[in-house]
Amino acid sequence: MSHSTTDLTDDLVAVAQQKTDTLIQEVREQLQAQTFDFNNLELMRQMVNSFSDSRGMTRLAIAETFGEMIGKPATPVLLEGLADHPNPVVRRACAKTLTLIADPSAIAGLVHALLNDQDTVVQGSAVGALARIGKPAIPCLLEILQTPDHSESIKGHAAWALAFMGVEAKESLYQAFSSDSDEVRAAVVGAIANIVANEPEEQSFQILLQALDDSAEDVRSEAAAVLGNLAYQPAVPQLIDLLQHSSAQTRKSAALALMKINDKTALEPLKSALAQESEGDLQPVMQLAVNQLERL
């Protein structure tokens, strides 16, 4: 590229940035003077296009103007940008700004972006917005988890969003534990771990104990891990029983949980399980748990 061409490019960028700065200033002045037209979709579309600005602080200023000053009237234009804009930087910014607004009417558009956008940052930003919206987004997230066609990555995003909601989502999560879907039950256990950490309550612990007897290995293992991390002593008898389970992964999860709970009554059952253990990879785990409890 010649020097003159470089100069021309720099000039064009400078002009575009000046236009963006002027636009932000004018919109903020109108908002402060209470003269901003919240029905002026064209003006808001110009702001969305300005998310393509290379300056991070400028993109942040636009997002804050949308999120803190305009609010829900901007949702349709931001959803347009999220769905249709060819520049992934703009789509990312639209999703992140929708997180600030947390408008339930954006749920369908955010789910569409999570499931269909090829940009992983857009997907992550979209699910972040769903998590921030909270309870109204739960049915869609649960549906994603129990749909076989979705990738593990997409399901992982959905499970994270449910866990992020925590206490706010607890009643819906309790109901969802009766789902026929292994993925949904596993996600519920993971989310309940977050709830119990912030607001311990008996119903949460009862579901975790119930999950130890689940038909799905992932659910059993997740529940054992959570109960171990919480050092929940009432789980010890069931965890001891799981040391004899036919699933090696379940036996491993039970041994690790018992080690973390640090209850001396588990020592002899662990020694017995170690003597019977036929899986070579599992023996060191059992031995580690035995060593830990022998120090008590």
How distant, in Å, are the alpha carbons of 25, 39, 49, 154 from that of 29?
6, 17, 20, 41
**Integer Cα distance of 82 and 77 in angstroms:** 9
The amino acid that residue 150 corresponds to is: H
Enter the pTM of the model.
Answer: 0.78
Structure tokens at 294: 């022998």
pLDDT in tens, 154-184: 988 998 898 888 777 788 888 889 999 898 8
The pLDDT of residue 164: 87
Secondary structure E strands in the chain: none
Assess contact for 149 and 183: CB atoms under 8 A: no
**CB atoms < 10 A from the CB of 88, how many?**
14
Phi, psi values for residue 201, rounded to 5°:
-150, 155
Please state, in angstroms and rounded to a whole number, the distance separating the CA atoms of residues 163 and 143: 15
Residue 104 has pLDDT above 90, yes or no: yes
Tell me the per-residue pLDDT of 202-240, one tens digit each, with 9 for 90 and over: 889 999 999 999 999 999 999 999 999 999 999 999 999
Q: Which tokens in the block code for residue 108?
A: 């369908």
Q: What is the mean pLDDT of residues 50-76?
A: 96
CA distances from 85 to 73, 81, 162, 230 (A): 19, 5, 28, 45
Q: Return d(Cα 13, Cα 137) in angstroms, integer.
A: 40
Confidence of residue 200 (pLDDT cuts 50, 70, 90): confident
- Nearest residue to 144 via CA among 131, 132, 157: 157
Band of pLDDT at residue 1, cut at 50, 70 and 90: very low
**How much of the chain exceeds pLDDT 90, in percent?**
75
What is the structure's pLDDT at 277? 93
